[in-house]
Amino acid sequence: MRIATWNVNSVRQRLGHLLDFLKEAQPDALCLQEIKCVDADFPRREIEEAGWQVETHGQKTFNGVAILSRAKLEDVRRGLPGDDSDEQARYLEGVLPLGSGVVRLASIYLPNGNPPNTEKYPYKLGWMKRLAAHTRMLLAHEEPLVLAGDYNVIPEPRDARDPAAWVSDALFLPQTRSAFRDLINLGLTEALRATTDDAGLYTFWDYQAGAWQRNNGIRIDHLLLSPQAADRLDGVQIAKHVRGWDKPSDHVPVMVELRAA
């Protein structure tokens, strides 16, 4: 099974790119972030006509997540539990068949948290705490689990071309990185780092200051695997070439290959 994640940065603006990527990569499931539309405005018809099932958790203008899959997503959950007052559309979860079993999959758009001296940063850390609590519950099921998405976390200095430029940013603050480690330490495996220790592997390049042309990137899109999923990991790929397409998202897709049982 091939599972991909991609912050598409407006699904309606990037529909052509999305359809091209689905045709090229042929994932079994694709988690999308920042779809930036309500559910009713998602380009469902075009995607379903291309052969995909669609589940969305949208929000007008901002945020929004979706999961596209070959098989129908079951046991769908919209929204991260733990705060009934949180109206931001950042979490979508469901179950897909995998061999003789299933894989539980979540599309995650973790808050950015900037500027750190505003209420946005406590919201980010609180959201990460809620994600950890929910993940602990999911891990108790002892099934393949993939938490995929834009985490807005630079885990280590090697995950940025210029780490010094990010020391005061919410993506790289010590509290952020510590909360990310706490999440992984629940028993998760960070898929890319299970396959390589290389630096210079990025998933985001800003639109400003020629970041793409200078390869001034950061790695903030991650797939975290439960032990049962990590045991089936066959490989990880960053689709870096997608950033070179005309009018691209500032993120690129990341994909994992999981063996069936």
Structure tokens at 83: 């705060």
High-pLDDT (> 70) share of the chain, %: 100
- Residue 51, pLDDT > 90, answer yes
> Where do runs of H (alpha helix) occur along 73-221?
120-139, 174-184, 191-195
pLDDT at 176 (0 to 100):
98
Domain boundaries in the chain?
2-258
- Residue 261, pLDDT > 80, answer no
Which tens digit of pLDDT belongs to each residue from 149-168?
Answer: 999 999 999 999 999 999 99
Q: Read off the pLDDT of each residue in 18-41 and give the average, rounded to a whole number.
A: 98
pLDDT at 98 (0 to 100):
82
> Where do runs of H (alpha helix) occur along the chain?
15-25, 44-49, 120-139, 174-184, 191-195, 227-230
Which tens digit of pLDDT belongs to each residue from 32-43?
Answer: 999 999 999 999
- Residue 169, pLDDT > 90, answer yes
pLDDT at 221 (0 to 100):
98
2-258 is classed CATH 1.10.1270.20: no
pLDDT at 99 (0 to 100):
78
pLDDT at 167 (0 to 100):
98
Of the pLDDT bands very low, low, confident and very high (cuts 50, 70, 90), residue 18 is: very high
Task: Note whether 8 and 32 are within 8 A (CB).
Answer: yes
Number of residues in the chain: 261
pLDDT at 100 (0 to 100):
81
Task: Identify the CA nearest to 151 among candidates 226, 214, 206, 204.
Answer: 204
Query: Model pTM?
Result: 0.97
Of the pLDDT bands very low, low, confident and very high (cuts 50, 70, 90), residue 69 is: very high
Q: Read off the pLDDT of each residue in 195-206 and give the average, rounded to a whole number.
A: 97
pLDDT averaged over every residue in the chain: 97
